[in-house]
Structure 1
């Protein structure tokens, strides 16, 4: 059965993972197949990223070193070998541009694209996406701000990522602001007690910690993004049962959140270590495409 045919057979909360170069596979998918596309492409930093490969095994709840994982299952984790890859391309936009064009083609008429980048490439991406989608289809520039890691004393420390948000049709796109999580008011004394208790809708600046190095969510994958960021995106821009695509899947956070929220999903990554992490993390919720 073709990959496209298998999409229709996916149950809510389940998905496919492909270990391959994403561009030829994307070109094989039918137009307007996905309600939501989130990508976290390599940031083109030039740095070497190290993967701390872990061995994860089911464990009895009373065993030493047990942690609780997906859907409350108990696991033990052993740190093993380290592998590295270089986050650098000689012509980054020759690499990313065709993939963004495919993302636009694959979006449903009411769909949304989220492109997660750092400050080195975000401005180039905005110009490229404006040309590809049209400036009228630009919805948001989300700033994900965090305060963790080293801090330079020679400049203002860079402590944010940028997520550019584009829609296929600026007049008819899905966005559910009532379903997303709410945040505490920074000045609760300036609003009613009822509003303070309920919290406020998030703005386009999201304060959220990175994945803690010793937290249960941690997979060991070097560029893992926190589930809280993806949960907000998936909740706002898709519905239960919708099909979500992440073609730079990395540690599989998009798939983990989709499984939790009853969305169907397709993950693509050509790094076998990433696919191995995804399969361990998602278990029966994901199968090879």
Structure 2
């Protein structure tokens, strides 16, 4: 089904069944954003507005708008045995990575500590590269604890002596104390650290697909730019809205995006029209 000389792919399949069909060491980068095991179903309603004198919303300058509800996207985020579910898929990720390849595993505070132990066993502790903290400021405000406003991204490499990392390809950030550096450094900006301050996908922005858990392209772009080269193949087997594919296209990488949710595949088919859609 997959060939390094073939087209980019969007695959509708159970990843546990599809991944074994792919050859060893085929991908320079794997990014996965699996369900976080929150114990609840995730829902996201698409909403658009049109101007109407009888509208139910009032906008700028008193103009009235009518709310039109679109598709309701939902997926289950609860597993009776989460680690029995995830471990074989992480073993497949290790197999599929090239010798210079890198895995980015995106989780949150509920499971990341267990994942670190598991990946140490699968990859080896010397293959741990980073824990990236994605910090944002959006959502509910807790009053009886510190509000949780970050996700965790574990970064492991296949071979700690051979992995690809090109910091020159990564977008730069402003210095937090620009007065302490030279004008040349201020102009260029600094390489991001392992804490990434980046907003979520704007509810009204062009990037928005309406799919729950969609991640911003700017976040994934850093990973793809640093850990792959133009023409390399990258893989996401919990692809959701297809952010990895969208970023890979813009950066000249090849991609395979896999998801078993038919709504995710429909979103990706619209977002990635040049990809071949394969339905299992």
Q: TM-score, length-normalised on structure 1? A: 0.87
1:118 to 98, 108, 112: 108
Cα distance between partner residues in 2 of 1:215 and 1:103:
32
Distance 1:113 1:199, change over 3 A: same
CA RMSD of aligned residues (A): 1.3
Cα distance between partner residues in 2 of 1:196 and 1:244:
33
Match status 1:164 vs 2:157: no
Q: Deviations over 1:19-38 (max 9, x none)?
A: 01001110111110101000
User: 5+ unaligned residues in a row in structure 1: which ranges?
Assistant: 56-77
1:147 to 137, 151, 158: 137
Q: Deviations over 1:177-227 (max 9, x none)?
A: 011000000000010111011100000000000001111110000100000
Cα distance between partner residues in 1 of 2:46 and 2:196:
30
Query: What SS does the aligned partner of 2:272 have?
Result: helix
Match of 1:65 in 2: none
Distance 1:54 1:270, change over 3 A: farther
Match status 1:8 vs 2:5: yes
User: 5+ unaligned residues in a row in structure 2: which ranges?
Assistant: 49-67
1:26 to 19, 25, 39: 19
Q: Deviations over 1:70-106 (max 9, x none)?
A: xxxxxxxx74131422210000000000000000000
Match of 2:226 in 1: 236
Match of 2:276 in 1: 287
Assess if the C-alpha contact under 8 Å between 2:73 and 2:212 holds in 1: no
Cα distance between partner residues in 2 of 1:102 and 1:8:
22
2:10 to 5, 17, 35: 17
Cα distance between partner residues in 2 of 1:265 and 1:162:
23
2:122 to 112, 120, 132: 132
Assess if the C-alpha contact under 8 Å between 2:134 and 2:150 holds in 1: yes
Match of 1:71 in 2: none
2:31 to 13, 38, 47: 38
User: Which 4+ residue blocks in structure 1 deviate beyond 4 angstroms?
Assistant: none
Query: For residues 177-216 of structure 1, what are the structure 2 equivalents within 5 Å?
Result: 177-216=167-206
Assess if the C-alpha contact under 8 Å between 1:51 and 1:221 holds in 2: yes
- CA shift for structure 1 position 52: 2.8
Distance 1:128 1:103, change over 3 A: same
Cα distance between partner residues in 2 of 1:177 and 1:117:
24
Q: Which has the larger radius of gyration?
A: 2
- CA shift for structure 1 position 48: 1.6
Match status 1:86 vs 2:79: no
- CA shift for structure 1 position 54: 7.5
1:49 to 27, 42, 49: 42
Cα distance between partner residues in 2 of 1:121 and 1:9:
36
- CA shift for structure 1 position 51: 3.5
Match of 1:69 in 2: none
